[in-house]
């Protein structure tokens, strides 16, 4: 509804709540590559992007589906551990592309402690990319999946609730209470793939 003769209609993506152009302008003027971390219900996407006159240019990217296809990830592809591993993979690719630092672009997500976007950022930082962030926003136990393992144990292994809630894990031969160990194995595989220059990286 118009509010007067000086009322100006916002751009479409602003009206749809998809883009905060004020924040985007600040990020673009920083002249640093942006880590664009986005989550869907089932997946995590991480991209290192630079703003160019002709439009955004992607320098490196990673999708949580790659964790399953290339590195044997058997857990859910949309949880906090997978967000970290996706960020790690993206960060290692960014290093290969010559990126040394970035700034986090969380879009319209509320910067709440423990959110997946910060797990993704932590993965990128652990890959060797510099970025300013608050340690308070990151919960290490959640990154390794300890909260998921503890929840599975509390449900009692083999119980009806356990089987119901972790059916996808069990179908792949993955015990949710062993997620932290599985996380460490996959993380090691990702790092080693870049050390050896393997094609799957």
Query: What is residue 6's predicted lDDT score, i.e. its pLDDT?
Result: 78
In degrees, to the nearest 5, what angle opens at C-alpha 123 toward C-alphas 171 and 165? 25
Give domain status of residue 201, yes or no. no
Rounded Cα distance between 173 and 175, Å, is 7
Query: What is residue 17's predicted lDDT score, i.e. its pLDDT?
Result: 62
pLDDT one digit per residue (tens) for the chain, 201 residues: 556 777 776 667 666 566 666 666 666 666 789 999 999 889 999 999 998 888 789 999 999 999 999 999 999 999 999 999 999 999 999 999 999 999 998 877 777 898 999 999 999 999 999 998 888 889 999 999 999 999 999 998 888 999 999 998 999 889 999 999 999 999 999 999 998 665 457
Rounded Cα distance between 194 and 185, Å, is 15
CATH of the domain at 155: 3.30.420.100
- pTM metric for this prediction: 0.86
CA neighbor of 44 nearest in space, from 16, 60, 66: 66
Round to the nearest angstrom and report the end-to-end CA distance of the chain. 51
Q: 50 is in which domain, residue-wise?
A: 18-195
Query: What is residue 181's predicted lDDT score, i.e. its pLDDT?
Result: 97
**8-state DSSP, 30:** T
Give the torsion sign (CA, 61, 64, 68, 72): positive
Query: What is residue 110's predicted lDDT score, i.e. its pLDDT?
Result: 76
149 CB burial (10 A radius; 0-12, 13-18, 19+)? buried
Give domain status of residue 177, yes or no. yes
Query: What is residue 46's predicted lDDT score, i.e. its pLDDT?
Result: 97
Number of domains composing the chain: 1
Burial 55-70 (b: 16+ CB within 10 A, else e): eeeebbbbbbbbbbeb
Report the phi/psi class of residue 139: left, alpha or beta, with left for phi > 0 and alpha for psi in -120 to 50: beta
Give domain status of residue 6, yes or no. no
Give domain status of residue 176, yes or no. yes
Query: What is residue 199's predicted lDDT score, i.e. its pLDDT?
Result: 47
């Amino acid at each position: 509804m118009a509010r007067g003769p000086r009322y100006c209609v916002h751009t479409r993506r602003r009206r749809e709540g998809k883009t905060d152009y004020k924040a985007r302008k600040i990020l673009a003027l920083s002249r640093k590559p942006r880590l664009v971390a986005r989550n869907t219900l089932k997946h995590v996407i991480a991209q290192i992007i630079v703003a160019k006159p002709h439009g955004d240019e992607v320098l490196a990217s990673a999708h949580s589906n790659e964790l399953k296809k290339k590195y044997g990830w058997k857990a859910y592809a949309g949880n906090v551990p997978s967000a970290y591993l996706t960020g790690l993979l993206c960060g290692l690719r960014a290093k290969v592309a010559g990126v040394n630092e970035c700034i986090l672009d969380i879009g319209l997500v509320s910067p709440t402690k423990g959110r997946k976007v910060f797990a993704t950022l932590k993965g990128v930082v652990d890959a060797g990319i510099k970025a300013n962030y608050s340690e308070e926003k990151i919960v290490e136990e959640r990154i390794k999946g300890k909260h998921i393992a503890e929840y599975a144990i509390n449900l009692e292994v083999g119980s009806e609730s356990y089987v119901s809630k972790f059916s996808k894990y069990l179908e792949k031969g993955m015990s949710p209470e062993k997620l932290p160990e599985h996380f460490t194995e996959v993380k090691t595989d990702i790092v080693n793939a870049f050390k050896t220059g393997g094609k799957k990286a």
